[in-house]
Structure formats: structure tokens, C-alpha cells
Amino acid sequence: MVTIAPGITREVALLAEQVREGDARRTQASLRLQYPVLSWLHVSLEMPVVVADFDRESPTTGAGDLIVGAQTMVWTANAWPAEIDLGVELTLPTGSSDVLAGSTALRPFVAAGTKLGPLDLIGNLSYEWALGGPFSGLQQFQATAALAYPMRWIAPFVEFSVLKPVRGSDELRPQTALLPGIELFLPWQLTLSVGVQLPFGPARFFDQRVLGFLKRPF
């Protein structure tokens, strides 16, 4: 849910998350379309709507920032299921600063995955530059890994992530977090993933992050 999965796919997805930090809440719902233009390349488009409550009398609702992405397959193994992809995401300032949007950012990444016996393992590395908006000047590195045990209709999983600000933040210590969750395989090729990301360690950029992800290939 946090880790970017390798693979060139055609799908539509609904994403939802709520981030809590103290008494503040930020809830975001997004619609994402992913479409392959070549057998080894897909492009994606994601548009969120944000509801923010930063200790005000009433929550503020507004558009989030449009995210345009591309992902290409660069290596696959012949002897076993394994793949490495490269990609990039560009965040465009379509949202309002009232909901912590209105940023321009560039995020290249590498994503990889394989099977370890009955387990699925995926991981990725990314580096993000905030080029404008409320977080202008922020640079951060992120490493994530996810391990899942798929069964007939359910797949329990756990994700581990490290987020390290490099520049533009008063807190440069890395935040580590665990995200336990489950993925449900539903009729009509639908899959639903839900989980809760919980930080641990001295650096905490949020207290709790609840995520949901519903997708369907087409």
C-alpha cells in the first residue's frame, strides 16, 4: 500500500487514507487510472480530494495535487518470477494550500519484486524533490519493503518503510514505520487492501496513517 509494486498493468483504483498527528486530521480520497502504452511501459494519472482538520472550527475540503506517473520494466528473470522497474512521478500544483496542497514535486523510483517460496516480496527506493509550494526545498529519501502470504481469497501482509529527510526540514532523523494489513480477493477481479501504518522510533512525522486501496484491472 506504501510500496510501489513492479509490473506493467491496466487498472483503475480508488485510494483512501487518513493521517493523524495529535489533534489534526487529514483525509484524502483519490481516483487513479493506470494504462499501458507499450508492453513494457505504463502511464498513470491520480487526482485526490482532501479534507483537512487542523484544529479549526470546521474541516476544510479542497482538491489535492494531480500526480502524473510513468513506469517501465527494465529487467525480468527467466528462471523464476522476478522483475525490476524504473519510474517517475510528477506532482502538479492543482490543489489549495489550505489542505497542504499546491506543491510541485518530482519523484523518481525503482521497484522490484520476486517470490520466496509461498511468499511475495516487493520493495522500492525513491527520492523526492519538492520544487514549489508549501514544502518547497524539501528533499527526502524513502525505502520500503513488503512481504505477503497469498492464500485462496486473502493475503496477510506487512510493510516496513524508512523515510529520511535530506534537506529542507528541521527534523533530519529517519522515521521508521510498520504497516500490517490484509488484501482481499473479491469477485469481478476486485481486490481490497486495508492497513494501518504506525511509526516507531524517535522521529515521528505522524501518529497514525490508515489506508484503503480498491482496484480492478480492465
3-class DSSP state for residue 31? strand
| pLDDT tens-digit readout, 99-110 | 999 999 999 999
pLDDT of residue 56: 66
Domain ranges of the chain: 11-217
**CA dist list (Å): 105 to 56, 124, 171, 198, 205:** 28, 18, 19, 25, 19
Q: Is pTM, for the whole model, over 0.85?
A: yes
What span, in angstroms and rounded, lies between the C-alpha atoms of 83 and 121? 11
- Out of 1.10.260.40, 2.40.33.10, 2.40.160.40, 3.90.730.10, select the CATH number for domain 11-217: 2.40.160.40
How does pLDDT run across 124-178, given as a tens digit for each residue? 999 999 999 999 999 999 999 999 999 999 999 999 999 999 999 999 999 999 9
